[in-house]
Structure 1
Amino acid sequence: MIRRLAVDVPRVLLGLLFLVGALDGFYWMATGQSLVQPPTSAAGLRFEDALKDSGFLWPLMKVVDLIAAIGLLTNRAPAAALLLLLPIITVIILFHIVLNPQGMPVAILLALMTGTMLYAYRDRYAALLR
């Protein structure tokens, strides 16, 4: 029961976090405005603008966010969904460490939830690490 909670709570929270991020990203692509505007440093805003201005990276990230969020929230292939998100999660954590230190609580929470899930699904990743 406790093990289930230790996996299900981070899975659902990550799913919700990336679902909101995907919806916000699609809303921005449609309207040019964000629904969610967390406090971000000037350097962080320049980085985000560069991703958006690339023309392809922002939409790609948001599609990956949406697919993985659905996988996590429906508990369909959550280990695969987490692997899809891992590069994005890594960039988010590094973004907060390097460019946006006021977001460190989010980065720490994201790292803890991701680490918990990676550990919980470690048997599914064993073949990748051989």
Structure 2
Amino acid sequence: MLNHSLFPKKVVTVSRFLLGFMFFVFGLNGFFHFLPQPAMPEQAAQFMGALVQSGYMMPLVFAVQLFAGISLLANRFVPLALILLVPVIVNIIGFHLSLAPASIVPGVVAAVLNLYLLVAYLPAYKPMLRVQPTRPES
């Protein structure tokens, strides 16, 4: 059982809302481009250009961000949304560590919020974290 003093309901709710709002806005921005694109170091701009030119599935990434953001804001499918955001956040951190370290702060904030919420929702993941999982009934 988790220590509820580390995970007060209000702190979990605010964390969920902040993370959800971040990914809702950035997911929408991926489709509608309403936020100004900040200046990036040359290597970062080349990398992003290569992703666009390659036909990489960025719309899928933005759709995952949007789904997770909406789920977190609506307090529905929260454990699923948090797990879906893990690879997105890992890539955000990796991109900024290697190509644009000056703008890493939002990624770190997202990572900290996601990690806090993953631990707060740990009971939802316990069945998946068993060494010897039980098989579903046929």
Query: Considering the TM-score relative to the shorter chain, is it more than 0.5?
Result: yes
Give ranges in structure 1 of 5+ residues lacking alignment: 29-33
Question: What residue in structure 2 maps to residue 65 of structure 1?
Answer: 65
The count of aligned residue pairs is: 125
Question: What residue in structure 2 maps to residue 113 of structure 1?
Answer: 113
Does 2:10 align with 1:26? no
Question: What residue in structure 2 maps to residue 126 of structure 1?
Answer: 126
Structure 1 runs, 4 residues or longer, greater than 6 Å off: none
Query: TM-score when scaled to structure 2?
Result: 0.80
Matches within 5 A, 1:1-130: 3-28=8-33, 35-130=35-130
Question: What residue in structure 1 maps to residue 133 of structure 2?
Answer: none
The amino acid that maps onto 2:68 is A
Would you say the 8 A contact 1:67–1:81 is kept in 2?
A: yes
**Which deviates the most, 101-110 or 46-55?**
46-55
Query: TM-score when scaled to structure 1?
Result: 0.85
User: What's the CA shift string for 1:34-70, capped at 9, x where partnerless?
Assistant: 6232342222222222332232411110111111111
Percent identity over paired residues: 38
Superposed CA RMSD in Å reads 1.9
Counterpart CA distance in 1 for 2:103 and 2:23 is 16
Which structure has the larger Rg over C-alpha atoms? 2
More helix by share: 1
Counterpart CA distance in 2 for 1:47 and 1:10 is 31
